[in-house]
Chain A
Amino acid sequence: MIGGRFSIAGLVGAVVLASIVVGTLLAPWLAPYDPLAMDYQSQFLPPSLTHPFGTDLFGRDVFSRVLFGARTSLSVGVLAALLAALPGLVVGLMSGYYGGWLDHVVMRTTDLVLSFPSLILALGIVAILRPGLVNVTLAVGLAGIPAYVRLVRSSVLTVKQELYIEAAHAIGCRDPRIVLRHVFPNIAASVLVLATMDIAWAILRATSLSFLGLGAQPPTPEWGTMIDEGREFLRLAPWVSLAPSSVMMLAVLSLNLVGDALRDALDPRTGSE
């Protein structure tokens, strides 16, 4: 299905993404130092062969911290996207398929939730749950649900009109079977595209909240807190905050490129030209 139609940009994105994921998985073996090990003999060393991204205020190796930080930030991003996608998928399927009062209630509710700017909504949820990395993941995930509900519902409404759904009804398929076997496979592609881009969003959101001090707490290696720690020393040691923010940008960029390419490959109608 995808073969041959993946653009160059999409391929580049996939390669960058794959290397970040591999780096994340192999962090304990790839990292040259313990991300928490302090060494006051080597404060703020510039990037070199022994310390590829230099060292920070406490003499910790920034490269190792970025690698371990990727573990935190990527898993938070993926978890938050799942937390948004799964409920969003179920509610969207039901709402689109059954319609009626259920659909009405669901749509009014998503309207209501979407009238909060999404980062402010996430901040509000963090305020209620209290700060912390787990709660930031929950907040970013919850704030992301309405987007999936909307997308799934509108795709279901389109698919519902198709002849094969009518045929399935005619041969006596029951609703759960129709939804799972006939409707879901036809909307899975667009959900996958949204989820890919949503991971990028979730990473941005979660690192932002951690940067504000509401998520991961020092000394945990996490991109947002690392950027915050390095911010004061931008003149003296720009690598401390630039290293994590550059890798974060690469992760977000590659996810967006892969998402774009997936959309073009899976759905020729809505390609960006």
Chain B
Amino acid sequence: MLSFTLRRLLSTLVVLWAVVTLTFFAIRLLPGDPATVLVSQAGGSAQDIAAVRQQLGLNDPLAVQYVRFLGGLIQGNLGVSLVSRRPVADAIVEQLPHTLALATSATFLALLAGIPVGIVAATHRGSWIDQLCIALSVLGFSMPILMSGLLLMLLFSLLLGWLPATGQGSWRHLVMPALCLSLASSATIARLVRTQMLEVLPQGYITVARAKGVVERVILWRHALRNALIPVITVIGLQFGSLLGGTVVTESLFSRRGLGRLVVDAIFWNDYPLIQGVVILGAAIYIAVNFLVDVSYGLLDPRIRRG
């Protein structure tokens, strides 16, 4: 198990390095020189631009800049925002909790809704209940955040007045954004749990458990679900990526602070250190989650860690 984890950790670090490298060089393709952007905002002259270039180290060869960037990154230094002049890492640390709270609560909601729906559909295979669950999952999968978010706001804020439509602060602000962000993932998980359960239920060990007289509820939750969940865990890791992306839209729709607002503003301002920081962080979180998923996969299924 340890060597499996170590091997995965090593390849995860390699991917992380590749992601950082790709982002670093791709961002240099941005039109416009950061020094010019900085100075023209402050209304400086051509000499100022040259001075700032020197100061930012932009006159050095790209390779030198790259090594310096990597060195800084290891110490948690992502450079300085061109607009706010603050360290990028500070700006990100400030916004990250908002985005993580949204993405993780959406993940929990997706599991909370997806798993029971999948089980109910599988145990009622072919009946109208199954059909209803399938229809709901197709609908949930196709429902844009921009649609579900508006409907939730209309219903719970404007008509019923139960929840605040925008902003943040308490858990009440989190309910609607998390709910609309989770819909597509709930649908995906429900579908997957259903097909997995349909595969597991006819297995010999389920028949044996029934023959022994194990209660049906125990068979479903203990024997069947545990085996059906293994692929679900992989999908949660993959879904976390689309949830992270989805937070950008959700935050904007519900006027919430977070990495989404940060990166969109950075794109408008051409604030390349900030864009670079958020993109790298987004990929790093996604990679880290999938690493954890891989490792837990090994813990759950002994066949894998020996493989």
Contacts and interface: CB of A to CB of B under 8 A. Distances in A.
Interface SS of chain A: helix
Contacts of B26: 124, 128
A248 B148 CA distance: 12
12 contacts: A9-B135, A115-B19, A119-B244, A120-B278, A123-B263, A207-B144, A212-B248, A227-B150, A248-B144, A248-B146, A249-B144, A252-B144
Contact of B252 (A128, A211, A257): A211
B211 interface: no
Contacts of B244: 117, 119-120
Given A119-B249, A208-B144, 6 more contacts: A112-B19, A119-B242, A124-B275, A211-B252, A227-B146, A249-B144
B233 interface: no
A213 B267 CA distance: 10
Nearest to B143: A249
A119 B245 CA distance: 5
A208 to B, nearest CB: 5
A214 B264 CA distance: 8
Contacts of B287: 115
B241 interface: yes
A124 B154 contact: no
B245 A120 contact: yes
Interface in B137-191: 138-139, 141-147, 150-151, 153-154, 158, 165, 191
A212 B267 CA distance: 11
Interface string A148-192: 000000000000000000000000000000000000000000000
B279 interface: yes
Contacts of B138: 9, 253, 256-257, 260
Nearest to B245: A119
A213 B268 contact: yes
Given A111-B15, A242-B150, A127 B30 contact: yes
Interface string B194-207: 01001000000000
Interface string A222-237: 0010010001001100
A264 to B, nearest CB: 12
Given A115-B283, A249-B143, A260-B138, A234 B158 contact: yes
Contacts, number: 136
Nearest to B134: A272
Given A115-B15, A115-B283, A235-B158, A214 B147 contact: no
A128 B198 CA distance: 46
B279 A124 contact: yes
B2 interface: no
Contact of B147 (A116, A126, A212, A248): A248
Interface string B272-299: 1001001100110011000000000000
B27 interface: yes
Contacts of B191: 272
A237 B2 CA distance: 59
A238 interface: yes
Contacts of B23: 124
B114 to A, nearest CB: 16
Given A128-B29, A200-B142, A245 B147 contact: yes
A9 B138 CA distance: 10
B31 interface: yes
B18 interface: yes
A241 interface: yes
Interface residues of B, number: 54
Interface string A1-17: 00000000100000000
A238 B240 CA distance: 31
Interface residues of A, number: 44
B150 A116 contact: no
Contacts of A214: 264, 267
B22 interface: yes
B253 interface: yes
B87 interface: no
Interface string A96-127: 00000000000000011001111110111011
Nearest to A201: B242
Contact of B282 (A116, A213, A224): A116
A92 interface: no
Given A234-B158, A242-B150, A252-B144, A208 B15 contact: no
A111 B154 CA distance: 41
A253 B27 CA distance: 36
A46 B230 CA distance: 51
A120 B144 contact: no
Tell me which of A124, A131, A224, A257 has the highest count of chain B C-beta atoms within 10 A of its own C-beta.
A124
B144 to A, nearest CB: 6
A238 B147 CA distance: 12
Nearest to A250: B142
B142 A131 contact: no
A142 B281 CA distance: 21
Contacts of B282: 116-117, 120
Contacts of A19: none
Given A200-B142, A213-B264, A123 B147 contact: no
Nearest to A123: B263
Contact of A252 (B142, B241, B252, B275): B142
Contacts of B30: 127-128
Given A112-B19, A212-B264, A213-B264, A123 B286 contact: no
